[in-house]
Amino acid sequence: MRTKPTPLQSAVTQPNGDLAPEPERAYDSPPKEVPVSDVAQVIIIGSGPAGLTAAIYAARANLAPLVFEGLQPGGQLTITTEVENFPGFPEGIQGPELMDIMRKQAERFGSKHHFEYVDKVDLSKRPFEVVVNDVVHRSHALIIATGATAKWLNLPDESNFQGRGLSTCATCDGFFFRDKEIFVVGGGDSAMEEANFLTRFASKVSLVHRKDHFRASKIMVDRVLKNPKVEVLYEKEIVRYLSDNGKTVTGARLRDTRTGEELDAKVDGIFLAIGHTPNTAFLDAQIALDDGGYIVLQGATGTNIEGVFACGDVADTRYRQAITAAGNGCQAAMDAEKWLETQHAH
């Protein structure tokens, strides 16, 4: 029986996205092994749009994929509400429902889904080994689609306000803030991009940044500073979300990071753009990662290990959209299928 959380679990469960230190592994007994006759053609780790689209394509290619979805099946889309920009749903669709029907579509073609976390992988062996709840599963090819977790401020009531005036995705939720006043938190390129983007909808955007200078690139900062709808609140941080009705965000308590002075401000929505943590800790540095911990791709979905493919937000610092993750999941399944063909040919 597992007694402590694994790094991947920590990455998902910590609301601020920070990874917990590597825990000591403690098992009552050594991992059980699934019989060698049950080696899967492909194991898919992750269950957002990338993992589930990879499952649909791999299943339709008769690869009978084994999908480990984790304990928050559907990934980040399960914490959004209405998804209005996924093609094919003119009236929009709830995030969890979209993930549900994607899974059903994959299952129709023979994918098998388990709602468990992968504890660790061994990519030095062929077939690859994937350890889940003390059981060793094996596969010839592996697709990693574990996503990235948006960082949160870790303030009281944060999870209650998610999707109720508090968001980490301007592209997803900006539309709901037409003619409203909003805060964007952060000082990197994401915050600049989101602040500018949100002025298409909002009557006013206040950029809340804890320092007196930005780490974002100069061109992005210049665009924000020239935008008449954006006001910058330097050296301020949010220390509390406020709500008049107990349901949605209606304000925030700001603290001056220099003087410590606090001030309550009214606002209709708050967008956090303080970075993401890719869910790659469980790989234990067996795959090449960039400085931010994202998987480094070779071509569309290849990694530095032959037979291991990655797709979606775990390897994407730029687009991070459900539709781009889904497209990338399709590419990963097709690349895995082609690679498996070359293996069986030899």
Residue 41 or residue 190: which is nearer to ligand NDP going by CB? 190
- Active site annotation includes 169: yes
25, 126, 211, 247: which one contacts ligand NDP (CB under 6 A)? 211
The helix or strand, by DSSP H or E, that contains position 119, with its residue range, turns out to be: strand 118-122
- Active site annotation includes 330: no
CB proximity list for 314: less than 8 A, separation 6 or greater: 46, 50, 144, 145, 146, 147, 148, 278, 279, 280, 294, 295
DSSP states along 145-205: ---EEE-----TTHHHHBTTTEES-HHHHGGGGTT-EEEEE-SSHHHHHHHHHHTTT-SEE
The footprint of ligand NDP on residues 288-317 (CB under 6 A) is: 317
The three-class DSSP label of residue 143 is strand
Residue 267 or residue 273: which is nearer to ligand NDP going by CB? 273
How far is residue 10's CA from residue 130's CA, in Å, rounded to a whole number? 18
- Active site annotation includes 290: no
Shortest distance in whole angstroms from residue 233 CB to ligand NDP: 12
Q: Residue of minimal CB distance from ligand NDP?
A: 188
Residue 40 or residue 195: which is nearer to ligand NDP going by CB? 195
Does position 188 interact with ligand NDP (CB under 6 A)? The reply is: yes
Alpha carbons within 13 A on the beta-carbon side of 271: 31
Of 157, 329, 343, which Cα lies nearest the Cα of 249?
157
Does position 32 interact with ligand NDP (CB under 6 A)? The reply is: no
Q: Please tell me which residue in 119, 122, 157, 169 is annotated as part of the active site.
A: 169
Does position 275 interact with ligand NDP (CB under 6 A)? The reply is: yes
Stretch that binds ligand NDP, among 37-45, 181-189, 227-235, 298-306 (CB under 6 A): 181-189
Shortest distance in whole angstroms from residue 211 CB to ligand NDP: 5
List residues with catalytic annotation.
169, 172-173
Binding site for ligand NDP (CB under 6 A): 153, 185-191, 193, 210-211, 215, 237, 273-275, 317
